[in-house]
Each structure stands twice: as C-alpha cells, then as structure tokens.
Amino acid sequence: MNKEEKYELVQALTEQINEYGNFYITDTADLSVAKINNIRRKCFEADIKIQVAKNSLIKKAMEAAGGDYTAIYDVLKGSSSILFSKSGTAPAKLIKQLRKEGDKPVLKAAYIDSAVFIGDNQLDTLTKLKSKEQLLGEIIGLLQSPAKNVVSALQSGGNKLAGIVKTLQEREG
C-alpha cells in the first residue's frame, strides 16, 4: 500500500467515524476466508460497515476525526477490524451472535455516542444499551404521565368543576 492509498484510507475512516458516531474495534485474526466472508455478509445484512485496517491508520483516522479517543489507542494491537453502525447496539448483538459459532470476533473496544467501552467483557453491557431516541421516549412518557392525569381528572369532573366555580362566584357576589 503506497502513501497515497494510506492517505485515502485514513480519509475514508475519518469520514466514517464522523458520519456514524458509533464504532467497534474487534480482533478477527486467524479466521479463515470463509468465516471472514460470513462476517462481512452478516454485517451487510445488519447494515453494519466493516473495514479491516492497520492499527496505525485507525489511530490516525481517530486523531483526524477530532474526538477524544485516547482510551482506545492502547487496544490497537494485533489485527483489527472496525465496525461502523448508526445503532450503538447492532454490532454488539452481531458479535454475540457470531460468537455462538466460534470464539471470534473478540471485542477490543467500542465508541458509542462519546462513551468508550474497553474489553470483551463489555459485550453484554453493550447489547443492553438504549439509544438516545429510546431514552428520550421514556423521559417524555414519564413527563407526560402527570399531565395526562390532571387533564383526565379535569375532563371527568368537568361538571363538578363548573359547579364549584359557579358556587365560588356566587359567594363573591
């Protein structure tokens, strides 16, 4: 790979890091071509982009992307594949599914919405994460609940409320 090809790969990785916002770095070393092709096919089906790159190029792409990825630099050893996804949990679920067939890919690190997860032991945690949209939906639901109760009480007691207001107005008069 010449210098220009390396530069283009770093540019492409930087754009993907910025575009997707979520990425996983895995170890897929020593897998057969058939297993790698199976992983690529399953990634495609799950709308996950997979890229194999040298650790030094991944690090340069992270530096160029401008985020705080320093905690991830230590895991950039050996063979690395990087998985990009709009969903923070999709790659974790895919890795867990693939692990039923063998012991790889191994999770080295994950970066999800500015949170860093290091190590394969984080896989279960990553599969259970909720997206921003899910969390916002839950918060909105919690906030709407008291307001719905007040509106419901006012609607159900509409005639009583009108009678109370009328009685209070008559007392003042």
87-128 tens-digit pLDDT: 888 999 999 998 888 888 999 999 988 889 999 888 888 888
Model confidence, pTM: 0.74
Of the pLDDT bands very low, low, confident and very high (cuts 50, 70, 90), residue 173 is low
Q: Encode pLDDT of 74-97 as tens digits.
A: 999 988 999 999 988 899 999 999
Residue 25's DSSP bridge partners are 82, 109
* pLDDT beyond 80 at 63: yes
Angle value at C-alpha 7, between 22 and 116, nearest 5 degrees: 20
* pLDDT beyond 60 at 168: yes
Residues 91 and 166 in one domain: no
Residues 84 and 167 in one domain: no
The full DSSP string for 33-89 is HHHHHHHHHHHHHTT-EEEE--HHHHHHHHHHHTS--HHHHTT--SS-EEEE-SSSS
- β-strands 115-118, 22-27 pairing: unpaired
Q: How many domains does the chain have?
A: 2
Domain at 116, CATH number:
3.30.70.1730
Residues 107 and 139 in one domain: no
Q: Which domain holds residue 145?
A: 133-172
